[in-house]
Amino acid sequence: VFSTLNPVTDSDVTHFTRILSPSSVLSTLSPVSTPHDELDIYNTDWMGKYRGKSTTVLKPKTTEEVSEIVKWCHDKRIPIVPQGGNTGLVGGSVPLKDEVILSLANMSNVRSFDPVSGILVADAGCILQSLTDYVAPYDHIMPLDLGAKGSCQIGGNVSTNAGGLRLLRYGSLHGSVLGLEVVLPNGTILDQLTSLRKDNTGYDLKQLFIGAEGTLGVITGVSILTAPAPQASNNVILALPTFDNVVPLFKTVKRQLSEILSAFEFIDRTAYNLAVKHGQGRALSDEDVEGAECFILVETSGGRREHDEEKLADLLEHLLEADKPLINTGVLAQNPAQFSSLWALREGVTEAVSKEGKAYKYDISVPAATFKQVVDTTRDHLRSKGLLNEDAVKHVLGYGHVGDGNLHLNIVAKAYTPEIQAALEPFVYEIVASHRGSVSAEHGIGAMKTHALPYSKTEVSIALMRKIKELFDPRGIMNPGKVLE
């Protein structure tokens, strides 16, 4: 994909300094001459697994500036990697080679918010947490929440179609994003920034950019439906004696909590131990964790505290009193600090895993009933290859979004090595295919899984994806080598 593309030259950098303000151009080339190490954070992904060699990072402040940059790159056939908060977990946000990095970090203004409809229109570079803070005084919340909220950007969330911790309640971005503004790969601005709830005027083009991982254009503005803030939220961590209880528990919890259930999140014992080891949330008491094979975090969000607390208390009583209890115990948050601490045990697993070692992260859709089997089979496989030891793979663990059938299978190693890689792939993808699952439930394809697409998509689908890419980006300048090989 790179054979017809050109590297950035000094004269391109000179041109960029004419389009943008001086502080918005970082380049190791003349006339800017930024020191190489200042570009490291843009060239390296969150996991430290993927590294690019870009010489030039551009940080436009307006859609028009984005358009001018892209037009120039299109004419010169210079490849571009759009970059948001650089928290992506599949190597999509950093260059494979020396592509220009187009960072949206300087586009971080809220354009409008309507507290009646809850419709928010914002620059793509707004950080998710800052949008959450922006709508909070109006009693609204963003329809998505994820562990990376302090750094990821709404444009990055839309580009990866991020799922996260609230999908069970608020659905996917394919539903809550109402409109987008996109700079197409030839520099044309596509203005679909409508804030209509209903608009059936033919093909819904914006859907193509949701989850396109920057391969079809640069998202510069997002119109999104925020949700009324729940009047009361609570959570509880349930300790389960066996994984076999997870699915029956989900059924019971759904039935008993019904409209107030807002999250049903899974962590296995290894994930819990790592979260605690690395200071994510407060450990439960020894008594509470004794004999627990895994844990489920249940969150409720409703309209009246007393009503919700009563429902949750009834649920716990029911679960503990049954002839064959599905849980050993439940630890209920008693105050906002405990609420956050319980969430941290789940949300903090990603951070904990990255502190423990180098993670191979498989973000897969498989039936919830198979989560443990998938983790155990992978661990046994690595053991049979002699790779399960302190010098190779230290832990194999599972956590994720049970309600969405999304398992995060993580293999934590001392280092990234070709042996471990070869043992894991295609092994994991074959398991996924055997369940007719997805090789990417929510993180995307990026650079990591381009070769794995056929495990989840038919030849016909992939051929259509190629045609769409060709239609939008015939010169192949937009995030080359990502999503499609």
Kindly tell me which residue out of 166, 408, 469, 482 binds ligand MLT, with binding defined by CB under 6 A: 408
Comparing CB distances to ligand FAD, the nearer of 86 and 270 is 86
Comparing CB distances to ligand FAD, the nearer of 159 and 245 is 159
State the minimum distance, in angstroms, from the CB of residue 217 to ligand MLT: 25
State the minimum distance, in angstroms, from the CB of residue 125 to ligand MLT: 21
Site string for ligand FAD, 107-146 (x = CB under 6 A): -----------------x---------------------x
Footprint (CB under 6 A) of ligand FAD, residues 343-362: 350-351
d(CA 25, CA 430): 44
State the minimum distance, in angstroms, from the CB of residue 199 to ligand FAD: 22
d(CA 424, CA 163): 24
Q: Is 442 in the site for ligand FAD (CB under 6 A)?
A: yes
92 contacts which partner out of ligand FAD, ligand MLT, none, CB within 5 to 8 A by kind? ligand FAD
State the minimum distance, in angstroms, from the CB of residue 156 to ligand FAD: 2
408 contacts which partner out of ligand MLT, ligand FAD, none, CB within 5 to 8 A by kind? ligand MLT
Comparing CB distances to ligand FAD, the nearer of 100 and 292 is 100
Comparing CB distances to ligand MLT, the nearer of 326 and 407 is 407
Alpha-carbon distance values, 118 to 112, 178, 367 (Å):
10, 11, 34
Alpha-carbon distance values, 435 to 365, 367, 375, 398, 401 (Å):
9, 7, 14, 17, 17
Site string for ligand MLT, 326-355 (x = CB under 6 A): -----------------------xx-----
Comparing CB distances to ligand MLT, the nearer of 103 and 280 is 280
Alpha-carbon distance values, 309 to 248, 257, 329 (Å):
22, 10, 17
State the minimum distance, in angstroms, from the CB of residue 198 to ligand FAD: 26
Q: Is the Cβ–Cβ distance between 197 and 225 less than 8 Å?
A: yes
State the minimum distance, in angstroms, from the CB of residue 227 to ligand FAD: 17
State the minimum distance, in angstroms, from the CB of residue 161 to ligand FAD: 7
Kindly tell me which residue out of 218, 316, 407, 431 binds ligand FAD, with binding defined by CB under 6 A: 218
Q: Is 363 in the site for ligand MLT (CB under 6 A)?
A: yes
Q: Is 87 in the site for ligand MLT (CB under 6 A)?
A: no
Kindly tell me which residue out of 147, 187, 302, 481 binds ligand MLT, with binding defined by CB under 6 A: 147
Site string for ligand FAD, 154-173 (x = CB under 6 A): -xxx-xx-xxxx--------
Comparing CB distances to ligand FAD, the nearer of 126 and 392 is 126
Footprint (CB under 6 A) of ligand FAD, residues 29-88: 46, 81-88
Beta pairing, strands 110-114 & 189-192: unpaired
State the minimum distance, in angstroms, from the CB of residue 388 to ligand FAD: 25
State the minimum distance, in angstroms, from the CB of residue 80 to ligand MLT: 26
Residue 362 neighbours by CB under 8 Å, 6+ apart = 408, 409, 410, 411, 424, 428, 439
Residue 392 neighbours by CB under 8 Å, 6+ apart = 382, 386, 413, 414, 417, 419, 420
Q: Per the omega criterion (within 30 degrees of 0), is the bond before 31 cis?
A: yes
85 contacts which partner out of ligand MLT, ligand FAD, none, CB within 5 to 8 A by kind? ligand FAD
State the minimum distance, in angstroms, from the CB of residue 359 to ligand MLT: 8
Comparing CB distances to ligand FAD, the nearer of 204 and 244 is 204
- Contact residues: ligand FAD, CB under 6 A: 46, 81-89, 92-93, 104, 124, 146-148, 152-153, 155-157, 159-160, 162-165, 213-214, 218-219, 350-351, 442-443, 446, 479, 482
Binding residues (CB under 6 A) for ligand MLT: these are: 147, 349-350, 361, 363, 400, 408
